[in-house]
């Protein structure tokens, strides 16, 4: 059997998203709007398979054909007849549910590969003897293509990464970090965003590199209809290499997205939504990020909608270089009670921003009051579901146009619920308090993290005309007392400049803001906490962050000395900062558990949170913001990577503690989402049981009209590009061509 790092356990938590009441309250028109947006999101989410690993589209197609021919209960009878035990069949169901939930065979949270927890030979018997294999010859072909890779734990295939450190389909298999940096310089020179691109490299016989930058779009070789792309779809020389900008990536999938966005327009509640959708259609059709930005402007202006949504190439966490966005689409409905609390937080935001530990010049010239709503998710397509979101991610829009914050209430209710018997690394006397206050404290942390974490801070920019957005003569660096020495030039963004650490650094800044401002009595009163309750919320919020910093070690890879998950790296850094504060504020003590195996306990001295923890966090936060504002990459990397380093130096001995964390780890829950079904002129909500089988059924019924066609499209797209990973993925059979 495989190392437990690389399997999903049979007892993995599975929860269903409950949005029944919020959906019931929608009008018929709002339901139709939500339905077509959901269809667009689900279709677009299939692109994630092509963004993850070479084999992911084939695995998805194989599983879908298998379970369409025989549902999980029917297939179970066949599997047991083939000699599988109940535990082995359950392991297969959990694996399949994991592939659907993560949109691929790598965990969305940690980027680690997971494999079926049963013998390959037994699974092969089940698949080749299934009704699907008897009826469809392509099922056998799919198994021949992906069977070995499904189980392979060859070192390079264990994690997503670039070059020798892992596999990624954002880049061809021969690309290195140097190629990624060169490509970013090229994109900057052309004023092109990397968000909707992939990079493919071919080396000719003379040793010259030829790069294809491929944009995601419906259109391929057709002439661009808008001037902003006409001049950019071209071939040219750049720094001794040849670059060609093309488009048409994921074309058939994006065509489906566009069709449903057009249908959703019919049911839009206002002109902002209509114009937003029109620009999204333009973006996905042409491959234009500028059009997506225009759509995002209309989205920002659409204040307080009943049905909220966002869609596109959004988060760059899984790009090893940190610039390319994974496709994501969500549709949700407003939870009015919690949203009222967030509205009060927004109303206090300008005053609270003044509490942050950096000079006014390092804050935006004007706080752009955002929407902040608590939403019940109907649909979240992509590789995983977050607890909260602050979007759009475009720096220029966030600085001048604004943003929106959303807290996903029904996700928080199920994904972060904790059972006492599964609580690890806490003192016994903390566990009951932790269970009682974790949810409420997390509401506070998510609110502060999204609104005042991601929503705060100014980037110092020199535009294309040479004008600065700060006064060079009067603004000084509070760390050095000197005038500002660095800033962002035209075309540079936070992601492009800080690249591989950008996402984690920003998550760390936002988490630190949340911890810092949760000490403010006004914030706690907004959420309904005063007196002893408020003190408990503060304590559990800080305790949760300290514990999360220890749990984060699961996502560190010692062999490559790198982190696989931005949020968890950020939490480890905060743990290091609080440990460094000393005076017994935080301690991590190795122990032996009741089972005789290694264990550990984290302790937070609640009496020292304000006197020791707050000053330490204040100094750290100021440095983070100053280095971000000034675009000081060298100092920023030195600071952040210094805290993120994992060694076995005493007293904590983090590398040894990592072994304990892996021994005691609990797998992230799988979440079952409903479907919407159009019956005549009405939209029905279809819900599923909270189990691996229920999650599988939800996907089998997700594309009732064109499931087989979509699987054919996915495998054709994967096969067309398979040559780019053939040398890297050695175990791929020769038949994959």
Q: Per residue in 160-196, pLDDT tens?
A: 999 888 999 999 999 999 999 999 999 999 999 999 9
Q: Are 97 and 14 in contact (CB under 8 A)?
A: yes
Q: Which two tokens stand for residue 2?
A: 């495989």
Contacts of 580 (CB under 8 A, 6+ apart): 616
Confidence of residue 494 (pLDDT cuts 50, 70, 90): very high
- Residue 491 pLDDT > 90: no
DSSP string for residues in 553-622 = GGGEETTTTEES-HHHHHHHHHHHHHHHT-TTSEEEEEEE-TTSSEEEEEEE-GGGIIIIIHHHHHHHHH
461-481: per-residue pLDDT in tens?
A: 999 999 999 999 999 999 999
- Which pLDDT does position 551 carry in this prediction? 96
Gap between the Cα atoms of 695 and 19, Å rounded: 16
Gap between the Cα atoms of 486 and 636, Å rounded: 12
Query: Across the chain, what does the average pLDDT equal?
Result: 94
- Which pLDDT does position 737 carry in this prediction? 28
- Which pLDDT does position 162 carry in this prediction? 94
CB atoms within 10 A of CB 334: 21
Q: Are 532 and 470 in contact (CB under 8 A)?
A: no
- Which pLDDT does position 368 carry in this prediction? 82
- Helix 502-517 × helix 633-644 angle, to 10°: 70
- Selecting among 450, 506, 511, 554, the annotated active-site residue is 450
DSSP conformation class of 223 = P
- Residue 311 pLDDT > 70: yes
22-75: per-residue pLDDT in tens?
A: 999 999 999 999 999 999 999 999 999 999 999 999 999 999 999 999 999 999
Q: Which residue has the higher pLDDT, 418 or 471?
A: 471
Q: Kindly state the helix (H) or strand (E) to which residue 92 belongs, with its residue range.
A: helix 86-102
- Residue 441 pLDDT > 60: yes
Gap between the Cα atoms of 361 and 513, Å rounded: 18
Answering whether pTM is above 0.85, one says: yes
253-291: per-residue pLDDT in tens?
A: 999 999 999 999 999 999 999 999 999 999 999 999 999
- Which pLDDT does position 476 carry in this prediction? 96
Q: Are 543 and 557 in contact (CB under 8 A)?
A: no
Ranges 139-153, 215-229, 370-384: which has the least confidence: 215-229
Average pLDDT of the segment spanning 544-567: 93
- Residue 735 pLDDT > 60: no
- Which pLDDT does position 208 carry in this prediction? 95
Concerning whether 259 is annotated as a catalytic residue, the answer is no
- Residue 221 pLDDT > 70: yes
Contacts of 655 (CB under 8 A, 6+ apart): 558, 646, 647, 648
- Helix 692-700 × helix 72-81 angle, to 10°: 120
- Which pLDDT does position 356 carry in this prediction? 97
User: Helix or strand or coil: residue 491?
Assistant: coil
- Which pLDDT does position 698 carry in this prediction? 98
- Which pLDDT does position 559 carry in this prediction? 87
Average pLDDT of the segment spanning 200-225: 89
- Which pLDDT does position 224 carry in this prediction? 54
**From the CA atom positions of the chain, what is the Rg in Å?**
25
Confidence of residue 338 (pLDDT cuts 50, 70, 90): confident
Gap between the Cα atoms of 38 and 676, Å rounded: 8
Average pLDDT of the segment spanning 504-521: 97
């Amino acid at each position: 059997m495989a190392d437990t790092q690389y399997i999903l356990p049979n007892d993995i938590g599975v929860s269903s998203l409950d949005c029944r009441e919020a959906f019931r309250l929608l009008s018929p028109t709002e339901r139709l709007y939500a339905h077509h947006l959901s269809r667009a999101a689900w279709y677009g989410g299939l692109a994630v398979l092509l963004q993850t690993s070479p084999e992911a589209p084939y695995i998805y197609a194989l599983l879908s054909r298998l379970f369409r021919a025989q549902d999980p209960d029917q297939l179970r009878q066949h599997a047991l007849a083939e000699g599988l035990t109940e535990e082995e069949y359950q392991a297969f169901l959990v694996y399949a549910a994991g592939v659907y939930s993560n949109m691929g065979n790598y965990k969305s949270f940690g980027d680690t590969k997971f494999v079926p927890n049963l013998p390959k030979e037994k699974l092969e018997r089940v698949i080749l003897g299934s009704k699907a294999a008897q009826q469809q010859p392509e099922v056998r072909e799919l198994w021949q293509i992906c069977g070995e890779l499904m189980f392979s734990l060859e070192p390079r295939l264990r994690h997503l990464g670039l070059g020798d450190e892992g596999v990624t389909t954002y880049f061809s298999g021969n690309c290195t970090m140097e190629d990624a940096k060169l490509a970013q310089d090229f994109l900057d020179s052309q004023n092109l965003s990397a968000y909707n691109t992939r990079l493919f490299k071919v080396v000719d016989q003379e040793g010259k590199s030829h790069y294809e930058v491929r944009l995601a779009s419906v259109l391929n070789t057709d002439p661009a209809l808008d001037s902003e792309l006409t001049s950019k779809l071209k071939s040219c020389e750049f720094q001794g290499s040849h670059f060609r900008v093309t488009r048409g990536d994921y074309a058939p999938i994006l065509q489906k997205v566009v069709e449903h966005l057009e249908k959703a327009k019919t049911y839009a509640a206002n002109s902002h939504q209509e114009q937003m959708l029109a620009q999204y259609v333009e973006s996905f059709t042409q491959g234009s990020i500028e059009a997506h930005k225009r759509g995002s402007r209309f989205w920002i202006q659409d204040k307080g909608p009943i049905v909220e949504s966002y869609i596109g190439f959004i988060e760059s966490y899984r790009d090893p270089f940190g610039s390319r966005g994974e496709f994501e689409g969500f549709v949700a409905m407003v939870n009015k009670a919690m949203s009222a609390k967030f509205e009060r937080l927004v109303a206090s935001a300008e005053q609270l921003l003044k509490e942050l530990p950096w000079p006014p010049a390092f804050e935006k010239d004007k706080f752009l009051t955002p929407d902040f709503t608590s939403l019940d998710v109907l649909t979240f397509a992509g590789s995983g579901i977050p607890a909260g979101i602050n979007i759009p991610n475009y720096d220029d829009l966030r600085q001048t146009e604004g943003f929106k914050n959303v807290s996903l209430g029904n996700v928080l209710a199920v994904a972060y619920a904790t059972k006492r018997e599964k609580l690890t690394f806490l003192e016994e006397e903390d566990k009951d308090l932790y269970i009682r206050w974790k949810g409420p404290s997390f509401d506070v942390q998510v609110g502060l993290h999204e609104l005042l974490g991601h929503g705060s801070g100014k980037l110092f920019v020199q535009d294309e005309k040479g004008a600065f957005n700060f006064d060079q003569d009067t603004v000084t660096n509070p760390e050095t007392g000197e005038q500002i020495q660095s800033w962002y030039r035209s075309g540079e963004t936070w992601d492009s400049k800080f690249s591989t650490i950008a996402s984690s650094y920003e998550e760390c800044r936002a988490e630190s803001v949340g911890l810092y401002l949760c000490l403010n009595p006004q914030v706690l009163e907004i959420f309904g906490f005063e007196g002893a309750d408020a003190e408990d919320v503060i304590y559990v919020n800080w305790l949760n962050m300290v514990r999360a910093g220890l749990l984060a070690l699961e996502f560190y890879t010692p062999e490559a000395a790198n982190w696989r998950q931005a949020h968890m790296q950020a939490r480890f850094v905060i743990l290091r900062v609080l440990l460094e504060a000393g005076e017994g504020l935080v301690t991590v003590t190795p122990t032996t558990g009741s089972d005789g195996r290694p264990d550990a306990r984290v302790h937070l001295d609640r009496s020292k949170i304000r006197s020791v923890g707050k000053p330490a966090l204040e100094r750290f936060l100021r440095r983070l913001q100053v280095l971000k504002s000034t675009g000081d990459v060298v100092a920023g990397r030195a600071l952040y990577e210094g805290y993120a380093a994992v060694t076995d130096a005493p007293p904590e001995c983090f590398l040894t503690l990592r072994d304990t964390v892996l021994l005691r780890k609990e797998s992230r829950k799988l979440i079952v989402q409903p479907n919407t079904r159009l019956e005549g002129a009405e939209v029905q909500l279809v819900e599923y049981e909270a189990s691996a089988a229920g999650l599988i059924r939800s996907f089998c019924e997700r594309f009732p009209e064109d499931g087989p066609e979509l699987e054919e499209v996915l495998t054709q797209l994967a096969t067309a590009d398979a040559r780019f990973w053939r040398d890297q993925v050695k175990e791929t059979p020769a038949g994959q061509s």
